[in-house]
């Protein structure tokens, strides 16, 4: 791992769009700063509505910031000016949103291969990679189904491998497992860790579930209420591979959980 | 909302009647009911025919035999194809620009904003009431009917497509942007597929109106077509042919509706099943 | 375009000023094009805006405009009253027998599909070329419109609500008053809103085919005399009338409906 962090966020700030000319718009994010190292699985936890999605939108460059800077691999990214946005930063960023956002008019396989085909990178190696991803997530055999015919968990998995298929070095995840039931969620978390182990990408995982944040991440950042800023950072010492089902039994898990919970208030 | 919902009303509302067992029994019953209804309608018609005289009402039998005659002689097909071609070409001429324009306007929102009141105004103009103007400008043959139909269909398809283009899911656009899509990719892969259901809805609504407009054009000035057939029949007190024309028109509209619905169902098979979709459209 | 959408336009300050200016510019360009077209094609084919206005003025002064307008309006209003009342009432009656509704479903669909305008010659056959014909014609158009809307309202009633009220002991009349009427009311009002311009349009079309007075008659008569200015003048008057009625109705409506073109709100 070289010295330059994969992602650096410095004093990021974002306001709501003003309602009228005289009113001062409130801040969504203020003085947000953190680094993400290459290959790190970083989780961020904060209360709902704290601006977590906004933060990720800015990093992915689908939204612009009101102030502050973002660096990818040491390179400054222009985020303040809407016209200068480069969403996805030339396909170096993966973004897995809360809703699966599979294009409903495309079959499963068409959705998963869509980014690759768009980028003109759908060669044999990519085909093999897609095949492997489908196998690992138990989606083989469902390639020609439309999203509405698949279960929520399957759609979720499909949206994850859609991003993994084009192999971006850094992946942003916005409460990806929030909309599925508890059993599916645990299964998906296991799948995610397994997939992550294959390539050790840099992941920024945002959630409001403290247990999830601690279970999955190398490091947990705690966000405050709006206007959001980092209030604490915890390094997770639990060794990998992790047994998600029994993590809560480990020493120190409960204390960490409690500490984070108090910090979120 | 399909009237089969009424079956639910029946089940819930008729608390006193015993529940029927089995779907087949119910379906058979509905079929019998409908056959009885049709028989009653025909009987009423026959009654009016006898009481008022065939010159005002013709009669079910007369109309039926006349229908067969017209079909066999090829005359009905001839007249119907005239009306249909006016409706079809007009729908194409009006529908295609109506479907494409909102996509162009999407990229130039200022232009869209400028022309917006004019489109709304044009939509509000009663095109059918301007039919003589079309005839004055385009002659008395097929052209004015095509123009009339086109003017009506254009606005219907334009506004429904605009609704579709505006309803584009911003999340899809964002995610596709992260994948590296440029403006053209977005239009092709997100906006267009998302708007197709709306385009279809526009055509589905426009279909009966195209036939209606073609008929109006023929009623005012024509020497061919179903409208002409009905009009000349009325002038000659040939009531049978009037009813033949009316029945044919109804059949045409029903068939077109079915075809468009079928095409829509196939093209949009990716859509989750809709609740309460109205398949019925009010004809002009 | 909504204010919010306008605000969202890029370079919004210049855009905001540009839009109303642009609209005026387009309007002027339209009139200029009209005049230009008239000069090029000749007034016999396309009378210019000035000529048209002059003709309208002449008609207004002579009282012809008022007379014809009132006749057309009268036909539309009467037809609306009759057709509207019948069309609105029928769904309520039909509702009392769900079996009847299911039975008649395909017949109703077919009846909706038939272009009512094709009935005009039949009505002329039955009633002649007097006012009655136009009234019946308009009534038939409005009847189906109100029936369609009323039926949609009836079908949107939640049967569970009805069942709940019946279990509580409410009579059929109470159920009708409480649930049926309130659920159907917005549908009926929506139907009325689009029926009025349709009724006007229908009256005019009816007059095209057979009449001796009214705006539609005036237009058709002018056409047969090759009086292009008359045709265009009449068309302008009808257009202004219908658009005016539309605008007035929109204002009268207390609660504004979100503009949904893919709905029953269709003008022809």
DSSP characters for C115-182? Answer: -GGGGHHHHHHHHTTSHHHHHHHHHHHHHHHHHHHHHHHHHTS-HHHHHHHHHTT--HHHHIIIIIHH
Q: Is residue C62 part of a domain?
A: yes
Across the interface, whether the CB atoms of C121 and B163 are under 8 A apart is answered no
The answer to whether residue C145 neighbours chain B at the CB level (below 8 Å) is yes
Across the interface, whether the CB atoms of B178 and A147 are under 8 A apart is answered no
The number of C-alpha atoms within 13 Å of B135 and in the hemisphere containing its C-beta is 26
Q: Which chains touch B (3 or more CB pairs under 8 A)?
A: A, C
Q: Is residue C60 part of a domain?
A: yes
The CA distance from A208 to A222, in Å, is 10
Averaged over B155-164, what is the pLDDT?
Answer: 93
The answer to whether residue B193 neighbours chain A at the CB level (below 8 Å) is yes
A145: buried, middle or exposed (CB in 10 Å: 19+, 13-18, 0-12)?
Answer: middle
The answer to whether residue B270 neighbours chain A at the CB level (below 8 Å) is yes
Q: Is residue C222 part of a domain?
A: yes
When the pLDDT of each residue in chain A is averaged and rounded to a whole number, the result is: 85
Residues 6+ apart with CB under 8 A from C262: B159, B160, B163, B198, B201, B202, B205
The CA distance from B266 to A231, in Å, is 54
Q: How many helices (H) and strands (E) does chain A have?
A: 7, 10
Quote the minimal CA–CA distance from A76 to chain B in Å: 18
pLDDT at B21: 57
The CA distance from A255 to B42, in Å, is 84
Q: Is residue C16 part of a domain?
A: no
Given a cut of 80, whether residue A215 has pLDDT beyond it is: yes
The CA distance from B228 to B250, in Å, is 16
- The answer to whether the CB of B26 falls within 8 A of the CB of B8 is no
Q: Which of C103, C112, C266 sits opposite B280 (nearest CB)?
A: C112
Structure tokens at B121: 């105004």
The CA distance from C215 to C209, in Å, is 12
Averaged over B52-67, what is the pLDDT?
Answer: 88
Residue C263 CB neighbours (<10 A): 16
Q: Which of A164-173, B14-23, B130-139, C67-76 is predicted with the least confidence, judged by mean pLDDT?
A: B14-23
| B172 contacts in chain A (CB < 8 Å) | 101, 103
Across the interface, whether the CB atoms of A114 and B269 are under 8 A apart is answered no
Q: Which chain B residue has the Cα nearest residue A88? A: B178
Residues 6+ apart with CB under 8 A from B199: B99, B157, B160, B161, B164
Q: Which chain C residue has the Cα nearest residue B205? A: C262
pLDDT digits (tens, 9 = 90+) for C163-207: 888 888 888 788 777 788 888 888 888 888 888 888 999 999 999
| A60 contacts in chain B (CB < 8 Å) | 174, 178
Please report which confidence band the pLDDT of residue B19 belongs to, taking 50, 70 and 90 as the band edges. Answer: low
Q: Is residue C34 part of a domain?
A: no
> Which ranges constitute the DSSP H helices of chain B?
5-13, 23-52, 54-57, 60-73, 75-107, 109-124, 131-138, 142-166, 170-178, 183-186, 192-220, 226-235, 239-267
B145: buried, middle or exposed (CB in 10 Å: 19+, 13-18, 0-12)?
Answer: buried
Given a cut of 90, whether residue A111 has pLDDT beyond it is: yes
Q: Is residue C8 part of a domain?
A: no
Higher pLDDT, B41 or C12: B41
The predicted complex's ipTM stands at: 0.84
Q: Which chains touch A (3 or more CB pairs under 8 A)?
A: B
Closest residue by Cα to residue C227 from C40, C34, C43, C41:
C43
- The answer to whether the CB of A15 falls within 8 A of the CB of A58 is no
SS3 of A192-231: HHHHHHHHCCEEEEEECCHHHHHHHCCEEEEECCCCECEE
pLDDT at C266: 41
The CA distance from B215 to B227, in Å, is 5
Closest residue by Cα to residue A139 from A102, A97, A168, A178:
A102
pLDDT at B283: 52
Given a cut of 50, whether residue B276 has pLDDT beyond it is: no
A131: left (phi over 0), alpha (psi -120 to 50) or beta: alpha
| B257 contacts in chain C (CB < 8 Å) | 113
Please report which confidence band the pLDDT of residue A126 belongs to, taking 50, 70 and 90 as the band edges. Answer: very high
- For residue B60, give the DSSP letter: H
Residues 66-95 in B contacting C (C-alpha not used; CB under 8 Å): none
Please report which confidence band the pLDDT of residue B9 belongs to, taking 50, 70 and 90 as the band edges. Answer: very low
Across the interface, whether the CB atoms of A88 and B190 are under 8 A apart is answered no
pLDDT digits (tens, 9 = 90+) for A75-88: 888 766 666 677 87
pLDDT at C168: 85
CATH code for position C64:
1.10.3720.10
pTM score of the predicted model: 0.82
Token look-up 């109703």 returns: C108
The CA distance from C113 to A44, in Å, is 59
pLDDT at C259: 38
Residues lower than pLDDT 50 in chain C: 1-12, 255-268
Q: Mutation target for B interface from A59, A96, A105: give the one with most B CBs within 10 A.
A: A105
Note down the domain range covering C207: 48-266
Helix (H, G, I), strand (E, B) or coil at B221: coil
Across the interface, whether the CB atoms of B132 and C223 are under 8 A apart is answered yes
Q: Which of B3-12, B246-255, C25-34 is predicted with the least confidence, judged by mean pLDDT?
A: B3-12
Q: Is residue C33 part of a domain?
A: no
Percent of chain A with pLDDT over 70: 96
Give me the total of CB pairs closer than 8 Å, taking one residue from chain A and one from chain B.
60
pLDDT at C15: 57
Q: Which of A88, A97, A105 sits opposite B193 (nearest CB)?
A: A105
First to last CA, chain A: 35
The answer to whether residue C127 neighbours chain B at the CB level (below 8 Å) is no
Beta bridge partners, A232, equal A222
Preceding peptide of A241 cis, ω within 30°: yes
What does R_g of chain B's alpha carbons equal in angstroms? Answer: 24
pLDDT at B5: 43
Sign of the torsion formed by the C-alpha atoms of B221, B223, B226 and B231: positive
Across the interface, whether the CB atoms of A95 and B175 are under 8 A apart is answered yes
Rounded to 5 degrees, what are φ and ψ at A71? -120, 135
Q: Is residue C11 part of a domain?
A: no
Across the interface, whether the CB atoms of B178 and A146 are under 8 A apart is answered no
The CA distance from C15 to C24, in Å, is 14
Across the interface, whether the CB atoms of C114 and B283 are under 8 A apart is answered yes
Across the interface, whether the CB atoms of B270 and A105 are under 8 A apart is answered yes
Please report which confidence band the pLDDT of residue A42 belongs to, taking 50, 70 and 90 as the band edges. Answer: very high
Beta bridge partners, A10, equal A69
- For residue A145, give the DSSP letter: -
pLDDT digits (tens, 9 = 90+) for B179-195: 988 888 999 999 999 99
What does R_g of chain A's alpha carbons equal in angstroms? Answer: 19
Please report which confidence band the pLDDT of residue B3 belongs to, taking 50, 70 and 90 as the band edges. Answer: very low
Residues 6+ apart with CB under 8 A from A42: A34, A36, A202, A203, A204, A205, A217, A218, A219, A220, A221
The CA distance from B202 to A218, in Å, is 53
| A91 contacts in chain B (CB < 8 Å) | 179-180
The CA distance from A91 to C81, in Å, is 64
| B264 contacts in chain A (CB < 8 Å) | none
pLDDT at B227: 92
Structure tokens at A45: 């936890």
- The answer to whether the CB of B279 falls within 8 A of the CB of B254 is no
Quote the minimal CA–CA distance from B57 to chain C in Å: 9
What does R_g of chain C's alpha carbons equal in angstroms? Answer: 23
* Alpha-carbon dihedral B112, B118, B121, B122, rounded to 10 degrees: -100
H or E element at residue C197: helix C181-209
- The answer to whether the CB of A162 falls within 8 A of the CB of A111 is yes
Given a cut of 90, whether residue B137 has pLDDT beyond it is: no
Number of domains composing chain C: 1
The CA distance from A231 to A14, in Å, is 17
> Which ranges constitute the DSSP H helices of C8-130?
12-41, 49-62, 64-95, 98-113, 120-127
Across the interface, whether the CB atoms of B3 and C115 are under 8 A apart is answered no
Helix (H, G, I), strand (E, B) or coil at B59: coil
């Amino acid at each position: 791992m070289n010295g330059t962090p994969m992602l650096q966020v410095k004093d990021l700030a974002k306001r709501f769009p003003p309602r009228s000319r005289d009113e001062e718009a409130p801040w969504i994010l203020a003085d947000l700063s953190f680094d993400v190292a290459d290959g790190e699985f970083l989780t961020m936890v904060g209360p709902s509505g704290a601006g977590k999605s906004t933060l990720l939108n800015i990093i992915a460059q689908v939204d612009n910031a009101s102030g502050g800077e973002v660096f990818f691999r040491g390179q400054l990214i222009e985020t303040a000016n809407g016209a200068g946005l480069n969403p996805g930063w030339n396909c170096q960023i993966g973004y897995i949103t809360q809703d699966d956002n599979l294009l409903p008019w495309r079959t499963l396989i068409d959705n998963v291969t869509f980014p690759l085909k768009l980028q003109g990178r759908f060669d044999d190696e990519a085909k093999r990679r897609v095949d492997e991803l489908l196998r690992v997530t138990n989606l083989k055999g469902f390639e020609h189904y439309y999203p509405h015919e698949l279960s929520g968990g399957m759609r979720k998995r499909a949206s994850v491998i859609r991003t993994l298929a084009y192999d971006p070095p850094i992946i942003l995840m916005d409460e990806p497992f929030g909309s599925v039931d508890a059993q599916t969620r645990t299964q998906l978390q296991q799948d995610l860790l397994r997939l992550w182990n294959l390539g050790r990408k840099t992941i920024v995982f945002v959630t409001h579930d403290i247990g999830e944040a601690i279970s999955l991440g190398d490091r947990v950042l705690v966000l405050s209420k709006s206007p959001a800023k980092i209030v604490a950072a915890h390094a997770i010492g639990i060794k990998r591979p992790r047994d998600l089902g029994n993590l809560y039994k480990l020493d120190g898990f409960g204390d960490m959980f409690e500490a984070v919970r108090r910090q979120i208030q | 909302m399909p009237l089969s919902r009424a079956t639910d009303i029946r089940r819930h509302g008729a608390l006193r009647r015993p529940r029927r067992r089995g779907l087949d029994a119910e379906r058979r019953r509905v079929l019998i009911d409908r056959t009885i209804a049709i028989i009653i309608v025909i009987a009423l018609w026959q009654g009016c025919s006898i009481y008022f005289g065939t010159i005002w009402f013709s009669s079910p039998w007369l109309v039926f035999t006349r229908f067969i005659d017209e079909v066999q002689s090829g005359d009905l097909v001839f007249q119907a194809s005239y009306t249909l071609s006016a409706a079809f070409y007009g729908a194409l001429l009006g529908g295609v620009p109506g479907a494409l324009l909102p996509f162009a306007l999407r990229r130039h929102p200022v232009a869209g904003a400028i022309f917006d009141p004019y489109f709304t105004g044009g939509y509000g103009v009663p095109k059918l009431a301007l039919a003589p103007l079309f005839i004055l400008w385009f002659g008395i043959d097929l052209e004015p009917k095509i123009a009339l139909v086109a003017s009506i269909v254009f606005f219907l398809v334009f506004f429904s497509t605009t609704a579709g283009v505006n309803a584009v899911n911003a999340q899809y656009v964002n995610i596709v942007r992260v994948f590296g899509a440029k403006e053209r990719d977005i239009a092709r892969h997100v906006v267009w597929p998302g708007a197709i259901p709306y385009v279809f809805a526009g055509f589905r609504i426009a279909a009966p109106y195209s036939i209606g407009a073609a008929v109006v054009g023929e009623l005012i000035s024509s020497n061919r077509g179903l409208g002409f057939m009905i009009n000349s029949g009325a002038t000659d007190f040939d009531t049978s042919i009037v009813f033949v024309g009316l029945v044919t028109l109804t059949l045409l509209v029903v068939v077109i509706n079915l075809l468009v619905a079928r095409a829509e169902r196939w093209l949009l098979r990716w859509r989750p099943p809709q609740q309460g979709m109205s398949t019925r459209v009010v004809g002009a | 375009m909504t204010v919010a959408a306008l605000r969202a336009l890029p370079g919004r300050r210049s855009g905001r000023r540009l839009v109303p200016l642009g609209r005026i510019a387009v309007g002027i360009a339209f009139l200029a094009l009209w005049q230009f077209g008239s000069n090029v094609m000749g007034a016999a084919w396309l009378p210019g805006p000035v000529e048209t206005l002059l003709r309208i003025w002449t008609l207004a002064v002579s009282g012809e405009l008022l007379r014809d307008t009132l006749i057309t309006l009268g036909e539309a209003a009467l037809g609306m009253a009759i057709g509207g009342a019948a069309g609105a009432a029928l769904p309520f009656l039909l509702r009392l027998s769900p079996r009847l509704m299911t039975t008649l479903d395909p017949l109703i669909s077919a009846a909706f599909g038939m272009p009512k305008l094709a009935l005009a010659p039949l009505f002329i056959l039955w009633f002649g070329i007097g006012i009655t014909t136009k009234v019946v014609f308009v009534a038939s158009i409005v009847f189906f419109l109100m029936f369609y809307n009323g039926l949609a309202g009836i079908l949107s009633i939640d049967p569970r609500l009805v069942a709940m009220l019946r279990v509580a002991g409410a009579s059929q009349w109470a159920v009708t008053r409480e649930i049926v009427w309130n659920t159907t009311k917005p549908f009926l009002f929506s139907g009325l809103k689009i029926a009025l311009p349709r009724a006007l349009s229908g009256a005019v079309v009816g007059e095209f085919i057979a009449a001796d007075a009214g705006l539609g008659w005036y237009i058709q008569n002018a056409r047969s005399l090759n009086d292009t200015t008359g045709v265009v003048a009449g068309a302008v008057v009808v257009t202004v009338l219908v658009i005016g009625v539309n605008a007035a109705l929109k204002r009268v409506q207390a609660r504004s409906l979100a503009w949904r073109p893919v709905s029953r709100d269709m003008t022809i």
